[in-house]
Amino acid sequence: VYRMDNGLLAGVTPGKAVVDCATLRVEDMVDLESEVHARGGRFLEAPVSGSKVPAQQGQLIFMTAGDEKLHGEIQEELGAMGKDSLYCGPVGAATRMKLVVNLVMGAQLAALAEGIALAEALGLSTADLQCVLDQGAMASPMLKLKGPLMAKALYESNFPLKYAHKDMRFALQEAESSGQAVPTC
């Protein structure tokens, strides 16, 4: 999309702004920023937290990095699609934040699946498990949404597994490059 004939970079001229909401590798975002700047443009990476339903409801959370002034200038546009935007620092920081968020979400969903399976194996009510989870320290919108569906073996996806896998792979690459172990993943 960026580099193809008549791609996005072909349209970048001095003063034009590019706001990229994709979740790519950090080095891809850094390269894109350099290419946009080389053409006189401005660049802001802006991956989101939220899937289909939050997008439809304007409840995305934007994590941005790069041109901080541009972040401030597009608050109205971000507000039309999301409930919040957080400026994370230089390009790469928003991607890293998104990858950490998705790593936590993946680990949470894996733990929920294992808990439901264990509850069922022990003859416990998954509805009771959900009740305890919803009222305790583990309560979260993700558990409240996914728990009852998972207990009924309803696995409709709002975020394709191939993208979740990509994000987990990228997060693990970032962990490895930083020297930080993430043994739960």
- pLDDT of 183 reads 81
- Which residue carries 């580099």 as its tokens? 3
Portion of the chain with pLDDT greater than 90, in percent: 70
Q: What is the mean pLDDT of the chain?
A: 92
Q: Read off the pLDDT of each residue in 68-97 and give the average, rounded to a whole number.
A: 97
Out of 52, 83, 98, 144, the active site residue is 98
98 catalytic residue (yes or no): yes
pLDDT band per the 50, 70, 90 thresholds, residue 17: very high
pLDDT band per the 50, 70, 90 thresholds, residue 5: confident
Q: Read off the pLDDT of each residue in 136-154 and give the average, rounded to a whole number.
A: 88
Residue 185 clears pLDDT 70, i.e. is over it: no
Where helices occur in 1-124 by DSSP H, the ranges are 26-38, 52-56, 68-73, 75-81, 93-121
137, exposed or middle or buried, with CB in 10 Å at 0-12, 13-18, 19+?
A: exposed
pLDDT digits (tens, 9 = 90+) for 83-141: 999 999 999 999 999 999 999 988 898 999 999 999 999 999 999 999 999 999 989 98
Residue 25 clears pLDDT 80, i.e. is over it: yes
Whether 151 and 116 have beta carbons less than 8 Å apart is answered as yes
Largest Cα–Cα separation, the chain: 65
HSE, side-chain direction, 13 A CA sphere, residue 162: 0
Residue 184 clears pLDDT 80, i.e. is over it: no
Sign (positive/negative) of CA torsion 101, 107, 111, 116? positive
Q: Which pTM value belongs to this model?
A: 0.88
Portion of the chain with pLDDT greater than 70, in percent: 99
Two structure tokens written together for 22: 């994709």
Residue 178 clears pLDDT 80, i.e. is over it: yes
Residue 65 is given by DSSP the state E
